Structure 1
């Protein structure tokens, strides 16, 4: 019996060692395979709340002081351009000038409404609308010193009194300067702004008004 028990122990011992090794291998494989998965899951878990939170934060606070300044300054800037364009139908001699003025008014009037909407949504002040009629032109001079390209009170009064070829030349010269100022303001927004739609509008202003400057310079060169 003793010999039989000894034989059984000799056979069982290696089997136990093999079984233990298999168990340890399985456990080790499980740990090694689950560790990256667990780490990855934790990483995604920690990133997931941050993602929506970041998006919500960006949506809620997705503008900065430059965006507000851009809208508050570009609104009166556009208003003056629209006022100038409004003079062309009754004063310009050239149909090309009349057509250009119509395009300027068509492009910039909706942008004024859009920027006003941004400011209201941000709880920021919308610049007072002094009106776009000729009688309100003198009141526009208060913005001329702070924004590039804005016409002075004297410039606007002069343009109002002109007609024919003299109006066309003055209009084109003044609007070139006005556009150059708008482009400078738009480039500042592109460089320093944070609000996507405002930067998109700024890019559009740079592109469209640069093309119009080229067009106006050609018109002046033909005279």
Structure 2
């Protein structure tokens, strides 16, 4: 009976120890879960923060340069509605505006998120101001385009926009090669694909394709 009682006491002690250990582990798990949740929240915040911070100088240069580059393309495209004679040119201009206007807003959003504010660059900037951006037209080019209408406008618009698009594609290729911010490199890929196709289309309209 003594042995049975001793065995029972030992078994109870072992069970108590096991329960205590389980409770401790549960507590740790709870703490860990809390930390994990908190850590997960922290991770999310960090991921979000790092997502906002996961950019380099090239990404900033891409947004700062492409915004005024797009703005000038929009300025040119908006002239087509009242000056172009070709329905194809008018349609192309409308598509350029539809594609690039949202991209400007997106890039301004990046700059704001990076603490840089919105780009204040305006279209039609002088050649020296835009010299770092290939394909930018100078003030003389823009003034000349604004004076034209009909077939002359169509021809000059297409010629200028081809060069403008080539410049944007070059800038986008640099972003893909040197940028680190995923959304920016992704947009660069869209610019390369979309504007390369439009260059082919414009060359055909000029009889060069």
- Please give the root-mean-square deviation of Cα atoms over the aligned residues, in Å: 2.2
Question: How many angstroms apart in 1 are the aligned matches of 2:93 and 2:199?
Answer: 12
Q: Which structure has the greater CA radius of gyration? A: 1
Say whether residues 1:207 and 2:199 are aligned partners.
no
Post-superposition Cα deviations, 1:65-110, rounded to whole Å, max 9, x if no partner, equal 1100000000000000000000001000100000000000010001
Question: How many angstroms apart in 2 are the aligned matches of 1:148 and 1:210?
Answer: 15
SS of the aligned residue for 2:85 comes to: coil
Change (3 A) 1:143 1:57: same
TM-score (norm 1): 0.70
* Selected match of 2:181 from 187, 195, 203: 195
Matches within 5 A, 1:28-177: 52=43, 55=47, 58-130=50-122, 137=124, 139-141=125-127, 143-177=129-163
Aligned-residue offset at 1:142: 5.0
Change (3 A) 1:222 1:182: closer
Q: Which has the higher helix share?
A: 1
TM-score (norm 2): 0.74
Question: How many angstroms apart in 1 are the aligned matches of 2:129 and 2:112?
Answer: 21
Q: Kindly report structure 1 stretches of 4+ aligned residues shifted beyond 2 Å.
A: 52-61, 139-144
- What residue ranges of structure 2 are gaps of 5+ in the alignment? 1-38
Give the count of matched residue pairs: 168
Aligned-residue offset at 1:124: 1.5
Question: How many angstroms apart in 2 are the aligned matches of 1:222 and 1:94?
Answer: 16
Most deviating of 112-121 and 59-68: 59-68
Aligned-residue offset at 1:210: 0.2
Q: Say whether the 8 Å CA contact 2:52–2:113 is kept in structure 1.
A: no
Question: How many angstroms apart in 2 are the aligned matches of 1:175 and 1:151?
Answer: 9
- What residue ranges of structure 1 are gaps of 5+ in the alignment? 1-47
Aligned-residue offset at 1:145: 1.3
Q: Say whether the 8 Å CA contact 1:77–1:182 is kept in structure 2.
A: yes
Change (3 A) 1:147 1:59: same
